[in-house]
Amino acid sequence: MNDRDKSSALDSPATVKRILRVFYVICAVLFALDLVLSRHTIHTLEAIPGFYAIFGFACCVILVVIAKWMRTFLMRDETYYDNELKDGNDVDA
Amino acid sequence: MWTLELPPFAPFYLGALLVLIPHHTLRCLAMLLVPVLGAIQLMLLPPLMQVQMTFLGMELTPYRVDKLALLFGYIFHLAAFLAILYAFHVRDRVQQAAGLIYAGSGLGAVFAGDLVTLFIFWELLAFSSVFLVWARGTRRAYVTGLRYLVIQALSGVILLVGALFYWQEHGTLTFDYIGLSGMHGWLIFIALGIKCAFPFLHNWLTEAYPEATPTGTVFLSAFTTKAAVYVLARSYPGTELLVYIGAFMTCFPIFFAVIENDLRRVLAYSMINQIGFMVCGIGIGTALAINGAVAHAFNDILFKGLLFMAMGAVLHMTGRINGSDLGGLYKTMPKTTVFCLVGAASISAFPLFSGFVSKSLIMSAALDEGYHFIWLALLFASAGVFHHAGIKIPYFAFFAHDAGIRSADPPGNMLAAMFIAALICIGIGLYPAALYRLLPLDMAYTPYDTTHVLAQTQLLFFSALAFVWLNLARIYPPELRSVNLDFEWVYRKLAPALINQSVRITDAAKTLVSTAGERLVPLVNLAIRQLTRLSRSSLTGSMVFRVVVVLATGLALGVSL
């Protein structure tokens, strides 16, 4: 994950690309491990190879897409509730 | 030993007097000693004991010790120590006293053995903590604090009424299993639901926690909700409704967290998500699930505290907390970045970090008990929490685009508190047996086997992959300066609007009636005059009197309308 590197070299796109490549390899290895190692499963879905990987990826995409759509009707200006601040007496701050 | 007679809240209440010490460093050191001494006293306690007394004909148990109470007792002492250390530089004595009384009230609630004692500490939690919100000193914090106080106090009142019903029903006030039976069961359930941030009762949390001071939020995040989880675990274990409420709590806040700009509010939403896991575990009710719920409460206090500390450090040093204003801070705040990443890994339940060893208990219990859809919901929420708390928080604060802010790491005391919290998060992750030993029920569980580790690592890495892809494809929603409507809209906008509307209608009705009355009076006067003239002439007095009475009644009716 690119988050883990702390050096300022993170600013250069080449470094970011290299870190991402390592990250992709780790993901691929994890997916492949599912085919090699046997997980003991309780639910039938769990038995699908790569279930957790696919589920995790799909969930996050769905989450973000829905959340983004929620913005269309939930988002208001930052000052939306500011009328509350005008009423009554001012407190000493 | 006499100290054993001293209930755990007492040192904290007495410690609040330490704010009278004039010298700043001396005062803070003395305050830091309070949780240390308290914890030592706790360790000397016998595993089971209670102190009983009779007050106004009620059998009260103000002080009851068992394994469940002790677990929360330990973590509350640890949380208080970390929060006081984190706030070591704060010179505001109101905050210092409020923090100690607040922590003491949390302990009082946890060691309460009857419902009246619980109610008293329940309200004290509310009244002491609101000062941590007000201490921010802004008009917004003042208004938010008022709303917070009203909601919290309401929870207490409902608890008290529920307790009275319970007393009437059972003839005792002992605080143990209650369950959802009868009026008392539901009332106490709702009171707990408010403090547990159940759906639609949750906005006090997302409103007040981001408005408190940087150090105040660290206190707030530890006690109120976790005391409620404790009470829920004691009085409603195995209540099936909680499974569904909990699962809903894990899912809905993550959508809000993705689009929220204020990073401390993101953490507040993620807190509801984490409490959802605990509530769900309590609802499942097996030994594994209950242990998972309380172990997760223990861990959440530490990693959520750590994340609030990291964000508090950012706010303290830069004066900003919106994701849209931050970015690139890892260059000048490297230590805070690392601590934040440890907190992020812990809350995301990465193997070798604390969240993993407690959350997997709840997940396994859900599967074992056949709650398959619930298990899928929890899995979705696990991916989601990694997405917003594990990636979004560190990414937008410390990485992302460089916002050009060059603030240094926070003062040493803040770093020390974060360091200790991070160390414990990793420690519990590496050696879960230390935490498992403190859990109230017997169970056999190994978190570290191929299945759990592989499944969780895959889930997290592919969630991260989704984040990377969404970012590269520019689908990920940018951080925007905005307010997102949540249920609070009902009482912040809708209710005031309705009240204004009804006031306007009442005003109009009043005007109508008074004008009508004004017109009626001369008419009636005229009628009376005519009648008097008539009565003086030929008609009998009694008949006139009757007519006058009828007219006067009509007048009275007209005026009163």
Q: What is the pLDDT of residues B170-211, one digit of tens each?
A: 988 989 999 998 899 999 999 999 999 999 999 999 999 999
What is the average pLDDT value for chain B, to the nearest integer? 90
For B141-150, what is the mean pLDDT?
94
Show Cβ contacts of residue B159 under 8 Å, excluding neighbours closer than 6 positions.
B115, B118, B119, B122, B187, B188, B191, B192
Residue B453 forms contact with A (CB below 8 Å): no
Does residue B490 register a pLDDT over 70?
Answer: yes
Angle between helix axes B214-235 and B182-196 (nearest 10 degrees) is 150
* Alpha-carbon separation of residue A54 from B31, B105, B169 (angstroms): 50, 46, 52
B113 or B532: whose pLDDT is higher? B113
Angle at B70 between CA B365 and CA B240, to 5 degrees: 30
Contact yes or no for A43 and B379 at CB 8 A: no
Taking the C-alpha atoms of residue B261 and residue B264, their distance in angstroms, rounded to an integer, is 9
Alpha helices in B22-66 (DSSP H): 24-44
Residue B290 forms contact with A (CB below 8 Å): no
Residue B491 forms contact with A (CB below 8 Å): no
Confidence at A2, pLDDT banded by 50, 70, 90: very low
* Alpha-carbon separation of residue B130 from B133, B251, B278 (angstroms): 5, 28, 25
B157-168 confidence digits (pLDDT tens): 999 999 999 999
Contact yes or no for A64 and B451 at CB 8 A: no
φ/ψ of residue B112, rounded to 5: -75, 135
B232-251 confidence digits (pLDDT tens): 999 999 999 999 999 999 99
Taking Cα atoms as reference points, which of A74, A30, A51, A43 lies closest to residue B257? A74
Q: Which of A6, A59, A76 faces B384 most closely, judged by CB atoms?
A: A59
A25-51 confidence digits (pLDDT tens): 999 999 998 888 877 778 878 888 889
Does residue B479 register a pLDDT over 90?
Answer: no
Q: Which of A20, A42, A52 faces B468 most closely, judged by CB atoms?
A: A20
pLDDT given at position B522: 83
Does residue B498 register a pLDDT over 60?
Answer: yes
pLDDT given at position A22: 93
Confidence at A9, pLDDT banded by 50, 70, 90: low
Q: Which of A17, A52, A62 is the best substitution to test chain B (most B C-beta atoms within 10 A)?
A: A52
Contact yes or no for B391 and A3 at CB 8 A: yes
Q: Which of A2, A38, A43, A59 is the best substitution to test chain B (most B C-beta atoms within 10 A)?
A: A59
Tell the residue number behind the tokens 């274990």, with chain if given.
B237
Confidence at B108, pLDDT banded by 50, 70, 90: very high
pLDDT given at position B538: 54
Taking Cα atoms as reference points, which of B258, B463, B396 lies closest to residue A66? B258
Q: Which of A12, A60, A68 is the best substitution to test chain B (most B C-beta atoms within 10 A)?
A: A60
CB A85 within 8 A of CB B143: yes
Does residue A90 register a pLDDT over 60?
Answer: no
pLDDT given at position B466: 93
Give chain A positions within 8 Å (CB) of B480: 71, 75
Taking the C-alpha atoms of residue B488 and residue B71, their distance in angstroms, rounded to an integer, is 34
Residue A17 forms contact with B (CB below 8 Å): no
Give chain A positions within 8 Å (CB) of B477: 64, 67-68, 71
Contact yes or no for A39 and B475 at CB 8 A: no
Tell the residue number behind the tokens 């059972």, with chain if given.
B170
Interface of B with A in 501-560 (CB under 8 A): none
Interface of A with B in 62-91 (CB under 8 A): 63-68, 70-71, 73-78, 80-81, 84-85, 90-91
Question: How is residue B549 written in tokens?
Answer: 């009475």
| Chain A nearest C-alpha distance from B347 (Å) | 16
Q: Which of A35, A64, A79 is the best substitution to test chain B (most B C-beta atoms within 10 A)?
A: A64
Contact yes or no for A60 and B477 at CB 8 A: no
